[in-house]
Amino acid sequence: TIGDSVNTTGNVSSTNGGTGNTASATLTVSAVLPPSIAKAFSPTAIVSGDTATLTLTISNPNQQTTLTGLTVTDTFPSGMTIAAPVTVTNSCGGAVNDDLGGTLEAGDAGIQLTGGTLAPNSTCSITVLITTTQSGTNTTGNVSSTNGGTGNTASASISVGSGVVDLEVSKSADPTSVAPGGAIRFSIVLRNNGADAADGATFSDNVPAQVTILNVTCGDATNGAVCGTPSVSGQDVSMTIPTFPSGGTVTVRIDGMVMGDSNFTNTARIAPPTGMVDSYEANNESSAPVTAATTGTAADLVVTKSVSPTTFTPNGALTYTIVVRNDGPNDVNGATVTDIFSAALINPQWSCAPTGSASCAAGLNNGNLVDTVSIPAGASLTYTVTGVVAPGANAPINNTAYVALPSGFTDPTPANNSASAISNPASPAAAPTQIGSIAVVDPVIVKLVDPALALPGEQVVYTLTVTNPSSAPAYAVVVSDTVPSVLEIISATATQGTFTISGQVVVFNVGTVNPGQTVTLTVTARLRDDAPAPSAVTNTGELRHQTGNPRVSSATLRVTRGRLPATGLPPAEPRTFGDSIALLGLGLLSIVAGALLWLRARRR
């Protein structure tokens, strides 16, 4: 009987010694435990029709009893069969047949072990090469033995696709500790470790609500990989990688501003293209933990923003004015100003004018505003953004600018680190129609400077003439002029449209230029007293419009020390030592040539 049995003797005694004690002993009879089974495929992902090894591992948990009569049947799911040639190993003894008990052959839909034997506290295994055309999970029947009874079943899954990849995600956060109002960047490296290309693999990242997403980019593609275009919807970032060969990598960067004061973790994921399978899914996601910083150097950065006009028309100009200031108490070096413009704004351009010792990007810049700046306490930056409203725009254009602190700073009022401006559509107007052949619109820009020769301290006038020789209007014409730093801008004029002056940049929002129309723009500037002389200063104007490529035109101003009274031209420059040597050489050559001619004449 299974269990503990206690046997106690009677008292021991002797004739001359009398009665002694009793004695007891316990005999424990244990049940023979059943076998257990585990199952695995290797590899776990294959191309349809390829092979994988199925391994059944049987264990004997009994410490002293050998299990006999081991039996298990494994009937495969649809699409899975024994591969040819039949390849089987068996360390469990007994016989391995098909799942119906017949001889094992290629194409059979299962296997069966009968009559196996397994020593105490040991394992044995059966391997068989299979092929399959479908993904699925395979479960065995119960494993059993004659003396141990019935044990468990075992399951394993295999994935089947048109190709096998091994996609990997590696994610990091910089910095890893951020105060409210601070900037953060998540860098996500996506890698294809598999043998096959993974064109069309998809990346996704649900960014925690504590982070305001400012900008998302993809770059640093290697080994033939090609970045896709990141998409942002609320807190969800996604991207399809169009070209992703074996060994290729791309890096996605998510720039944001932390607004919450609690710890969080951000997780990124990658999935194989439709129809393909991943051989190792454990590395398909990666997380980056971020802690909330509670201390740092205090600085209150503030953003204000306005738009003109507040009511737009398609093909019309739109101008944003963004002011970023530091209300202190400490200077900030390395803050990030970001403004990602609406797709309804065509050809956005921006420039920055700092006050005091603040610094920002110089000149005229194209595209979204992303600028790393320094703002001492009490200083400010003024950004001027110009663009053209897309022809089909009919919904409000709402745009937000942000400033984020660098690591090590804390903002006492992070709520004022962003500002928005909205422009609403005006009543729709009928668009002009081109009848017949398609018109090619190609406006022309010509730039001149008067006078073309000037002394330091004198004024010059640049004239930019925009003409439309086409048979259709040129819409959304914008002319920009980045004036060289040796000139101080005094004023500007335009016979049509509006203009803004920001630092050394003048931007003219001309608007529509009709066929045959000419628009004249001027910039008056003064040569600075320390302008180098003699020198040549080239100034280039750029014209952009709704369709077609940008056009440029340049004018060169010659800076001189003075003018000759008779000609008005600059005086000749002093001869250099090199010039003197060259003239001496020419003189000697002339003397030698003359002597040779004289000798030839005498010989005749």
**CATH code for the domain in which residue 66 is found:** 2.60.40.1510
Q: How many CA atoms lie within 13 A of 545 on its CB side?
A: 24
Q: Which of 555, 558, 348, 316 is nearest to 445 (CA)?
A: 555
Structure tokens at 500: 């803004």
Q: Which of 209, 218, 214, 206 is nearest to 184 (CA)?
A: 214
Structure tokens at 210: 């504590």
Q: Is residue 578 part of a domain?
A: no
Structure tokens at 152: 């468990």
- Cα–Cα distance, 72 to 88 (Å, whole number): 15
My answer on whether 55 and 96 are in the same domain is yes
My answer on whether 220 and 307 are in the same domain is no
In angstroms, what CA-CA distances link 301 with 257, 298, 407? 13, 10, 14
Decide which of 161, 190, 210 is a domain's last residue: 161
My answer on whether 229 and 272 are in the same domain is yes
| β-strand partners of 507 | 480, 500
Q: Is residue 496 part of a domain?
A: yes
Decide which of 243, 262, 292 is a domain's last residue: 292
Q: Which of 440, 416, 155 is nearest to 305 (CA)?
A: 416
**Quick check: 323 and 384 in contact, CB under 8 A?**
no
**Quick check: 201 and 268 in contact, CB under 8 A?**
no
Q: Which of 160, 162, 187, 163 is nearest to 173 (CA)?
A: 187
Structure tokens at 72: 């298990």
Contacts for 400 with CB less than 8 Å, ≥ 6 apart: 305, 339, 418, 419, 420
Q: What are phi and psi of 220, to 5 degrees?
A: 55, 40
My answer on whether 286 and 302 are in the same domain is no
Residue with tokens 């050489």: 585
My answer on whether 169 and 144 are in the same domain is no
- Cα–Cα distance, 177 to 155 (Å, whole number): 44
Give the domain CATH number at 224: 2.60.40.1530
The pairing of strands 285-292 and 177-178 is parallel
Q: Is residue 597 part of a domain?
A: no
Domain that holds residue 115: 38-161
Q: Report pTM.
A: 0.63
- Cα–Cα distance, 250 to 239 (Å, whole number): 11
DSSP 240-292: EESB--TT-EEEEEEEEEE--SS-EEEEEEEEPPTT-EES-GGGSEEEEEEEE
My answer on whether 237 and 331 are in the same domain is no
Q: What are phi and psi of 399, to 5 degrees?
A: -130, 140
**61 C-beta neighbours (distance < 10 Å), count:** 16
**540 C-beta neighbours (distance < 10 Å), count:** 15
My answer on whether 323 and 311 are in the same domain is yes
My answer on whether 357 and 408 are in the same domain is yes
Q: Is residue 602 part of a domain?
A: no
My answer on whether 261 and 339 are in the same domain is no
pLDDT digits (tens, 9 = 90+) for 423-477: 999 865 444 444 444 556 778 888 888 888 888 889 999 999 988 877 788 888 8
- Cα–Cα distance, 160 to 63 (Å, whole number): 41
Q: Is residue 22 part of a domain?
A: no
pLDDT of residue 347: 87
Where the chain has pLDDT below 50, the residues are: 1, 429-437, 564-567, 572-579, 582-583
Q: Is residue 99 part of a domain?
A: yes
- Cα–Cα distance, 76 to 15 (Å, whole number): 77
My answer on whether 281 and 187 are in the same domain is yes
Burial classification of residue 566, based on how many CB atoms lie within 10 Å of its CB (0-12 exposed, 13-18 middle, 19 or more buried)? exposed
My answer on whether 474 and 371 are in the same domain is no
Total count of domains within the chain: 4
Q: Is residue 591 part of a domain?
A: no
pLDDT of residue 432: 45
In three-state form (DSSP H/G/I as H, E/B as E, the rest C), the secondary structure along 372-424 is EEEECCCCEEEEEEEEEECCCCCCCEEEEEEEEECCCEECCCHHHCEEEEEEE
Decide which of 123, 140, 161 is a domain's last residue: 161
My answer on whether 173 and 274 are in the same domain is yes
Q: Is residue 55 part of a domain?
A: yes
Cα 419 to chain centroid distance, Å, stands at 25
